[in-house]
Structures are given as C-alpha cells and as structure tokens.
Amino acid sequence: MSLSETESPTALIEIGVIVAGPLDWVDARAAKLAVEQTDRRLQELFPGFKFNFFEIRRPEMLASGRVEPSLLLCQALEERDALHWDFAFVLTAAELIGNYSTYCFAALSRPLDAAVISLSLIDPLALGVEVNDAERVERIARRLSRLMLHGVGHLSGLPRSDHPNDLLFHPPNARALDHMAALEPADQQRQREALMQIADQRLEEGIGRRMGYVSFVIRAAWINRREIYQAVWAARPWEFPKRLSRLTIASFSTLAILLMTAEAWDLALAQGRNRLLLLVVASLISTTLYVVLRQQLLVRRGTKRSEQTVVTSASALGIVCAGMLTTWATLFVSGLMLSHLLFPSDLIATWAATTIDQPHQLSWLDRPQMATFSASLGIMIGALGASFESQHYFRHIIFVDEEI
C-alpha cells in the first residue's frame, strides 16, 4: 500500500517499510506518523524527487524477546529484491542484539540497502520517563523518523557527522535523536547526486535485458563501482583479525607452527618467486570464495537478474577479500618480525640445508619469503576457523556497517 500519492516528479525513490512481528497500538501509530514525517522531511530536502513509501506487515517474522539484526536484514533483502525497492527498513518491537555495543536500536547495511530499527529502546518508557500515550507516540515517531532519515543518508553513502544536531550524527543514546534535524549543504548535495543515480533506470530494465549473464554482471558491477567501494570501506575489513577470533587464532597458530618447523623453512626457501606469488594469489582467492560460500553470503534469488543483487554479492566478495588480505598482511608482518627476532642465520641455514649451505648465503629476501609462505598457508587454515563462526555473527560483521 503506497503511503504517498502526489504527482510524480522525474526521479522516484521507493522505500519499503516492513513491520516485523506485532506492534502495540502506540508503536503502530508512532510508526505510521514517523513514515509521514520522514516523507515530508525528504521532500523538503530534495524537492526534485518523489519518495514512495510502501508498508508491509510481517507478523510471522518474529514474536518478542531479542533478535539478531542480520536475520531481519536478510529478510528485508528478500522483500527489497522481490518488490524492487531502493531501500528497505524493518521496524520491530523486539530488542536487537548488538555486537559492537551493549545496546542496539538500529543496524544499517549499505551492501543490502537496508536497515533494522527497534522501537523498544527509543520508547520513553524504556528510559524510565513517565509520559501519557499522546506524548509517547509523538516522541517515538520523532526518534524513529530521525533514525530513518539517518538511515537514508547512510545508505546513500554519506559519512558520519560529529555535530549533535546533524542527521548523520552517531547518537550515543535515544535522547540524542531528539536534536538530530539538520543536514549540511555539502552533504545534502552529495545525497542528491547519490539519489539521482539510485533513481535512474536499472540495468535489467533497459539494455541489460539483451545481455548475457556474465556481461550483465560485469556491466552492473562497473556501473555501481563507487557504491561497491563505499560498502567495502564502510564494513571496515581491516578489523577482521580483531572481530573474527576463530580466524585469527587458527591463522596465528599455523604461523607459529610453521616458523618452528625446520621442514617448513626448507620448503619455503626452496620455492621460486613466481611460485610464491602464485601461492599468495591462490590463497586469497580460495579463502575468499570458501568463506563466502560457506557462510552463504552470495545473494541468489532464482534466475531473475538484478542490478541490486550484483551489487550486494560484489560487496560481500569485496569485503571478505579485503578482510583476508588484511589478515594475510598481519600474518606476514608478524612472521617477518619473529623471524628476525628469534631465528638467527646459523639456525636457518641448518634447517634449510637443501637450499643454504652456509649462513653467509642467507639472502635478505629469505626471511620475507618464509613470512610470505607462512602467511599464505596461515590464512588457508584460518578460513577453516572463520567458517565455524556463527552465521548470524559473520553476516553481522560483513553486512552491518553501522550499529547505533
């Protein structure tokens, strides 16, 4: 059901609002009012666009208690693809499980063009404030509208703001949402340009219908290269070693074992430069594909092609590949430092007897070669550890780039 029926300007943005689970009458009224406020504010900020909001109720999604944001985000992705929305918001009365903080009232995902918002923590009653029902509806609606506006800005590629009155501010608590109303002119222009690209005809609606599958995927990825880059950057893949403990433990355990093994030194130093480079590339590609497939991160929705699906899948591949590259670099640096600190040339010459006869034959490239060899094998074993991470947690790490 469309909530906006005004005359259509040239640029149309479609936003789906999915109500997951039951809402009491206060939350239901506040959600409806928040959508209306969000629509009005977006029309004020971007008069050249028409924003169509569509509301869908999914009472079967969940009941109550706490829920993983990644679960609702994946369900939002299904609705977004099926109904061809530009953005999807999931509203729920359940509490969201936070992985970056002790509480979470919203989880935003650029790769999925979706966000999940919990009404429970923005309710004045949750903060111990006694208000009548009318005031409660008004406050929840205002805070929910600010979160939705923040979400549209974030999903459009805008960076965070440090000013408490800015819509892109990262609020430390629900009360801070009451002050978030402004948008800097520069950010407004950047968002307008992003929305114009989003409102353009999708590839599958035009020339993409005549393309082969591979050509369609390459073309869609190239057209949306900036969006894919922003999604990868926002996911902060350089924090993989810190966030994915099983990956890190397995990788560094392998590194330590290899450095302490004479046969490993002998084998590593016997490799040619080209073969070693091939090992690095093969390890990055194989671990990326293994983790992506094992954690079911690729979007597959039947046989129908979609530009948004390509962007989501390409973003997931890019995030995991960048995370694996970061892990490899961390292992390489650690291995290089340990090889210089703990392994003298005499010992290395003894262990790598088939390659080095005398300590003075040890080249300045030999220790980096061992570090490269160990790091490559390390991330292969580490990928096995990453595959045992909880799927909900792993998807949260990959897809949720802002948790409020």
For the domain that residue 83 is a member of, what is the CATH number? 3.40.390.10
List pLDDT tens digits, range 152-175: 999 998 988 889 999 999 988 888
pLDDT of the residue at 330: 95
Residue 183, both tokens? 């948008």
**Does a structural domain hold residue 3?**
no
Percent of the chain predicted with pLDDT > 70: 93
Q: What is the mean pLDDT of the chain?
A: 86
pLDDT of the residue at 150: 95
Taking Cα atoms as reference points, which of 250, 238, 285, 283 lies closest to residue 397?
A: 238
Into how many domains does the chain fold? 2
**Does a structural domain hold residue 205?**
no
Cα–Cα distances (Å) from 91 to 31, 59, 96, 279, in that order, read 8, 11, 11, 46
**Does a structural domain hold residue 208?**
no
Residues 217, 191 share a domain = no
Mean pLDDT (whole number) for 15-40: 93
355-361 long-range contacts (CB < 8 A, ≥24 apart) are 355/266, 355/269, 355/270, 356/269
- Of 197, 227, 259, the one marking the end of a domain is 197
Residues 118, 48 share a domain = yes
pLDDT of the residue at 23: 87
Residues 235, 186 share a domain = no
- pLDDT of 283 over the 70 cut: yes
- pLDDT of 63 over the 70 cut: no
Taking Cα atoms as reference points, which of 55, 225, 156, 54 lies closest to residue 402?
A: 156
Please state the pTM of the whole predicted model. Answer: 0.84
Residues 386, 320 share a domain = yes
Residues 47, 162 share a domain = yes
**Does a structural domain hold residue 246?**
yes
Mean pLDDT (whole number) for 57-73: 79
Q: Give the Cα-Cα-Cα angle 28, 34, 35 (nearest 5 degrees).
A: 95
**Does a structural domain hold residue 365?**
yes
pLDDT of the residue at 5: 40
Residues 243, 184 share a domain = no
**Does a structural domain hold residue 396?**
yes
* Distance, CA of 403 to CA of 116 (rounded, Å): 10
List pLDDT tens digits, range 174-216: 889 999 988 999 999 999 999 998 887 777 777 777 788 888 8
- Of 132, 167, 197, the one marking the end of a domain is 197
**Does a structural domain hold residue 207?**
no
Residues 221, 370 share a domain = yes
Task: Determine the structural domain holding residue 347 and report its residue range.
Answer: 213-403
Residues 258, 173 share a domain = no
Lowest mean pLDDT of 33-42, 277-286, 382-391, name the range.
382-391
Q: Label residue 84 by pLDDT band (50, 70, 90).
A: confident
pLDDT of the residue at 346: 82
Residues 234, 381 share a domain = yes
- Of 197, 228, 258, the one marking the end of a domain is 197
pLDDT of the residue at 19: 93
* Distance, CA of 190 to CA of 30 (rounded, Å): 30
Residues 349, 219 share a domain = yes
Sorted by sequence, the CB contacts under 8 Å of residue 29 that are 6+ apart come out as 137, 141
* Distance, CA of 149 to CA of 115 (rounded, Å): 11
Mean pLDDT (whole number) for 345-367: 72
**Does a structural domain hold residue 251?**
yes
Residues 320, 245 share a domain = yes
Mean pLDDT (whole number) for 15-25: 91
- pLDDT of 361 over the 80 cut: no
Residues 255, 183 share a domain = no
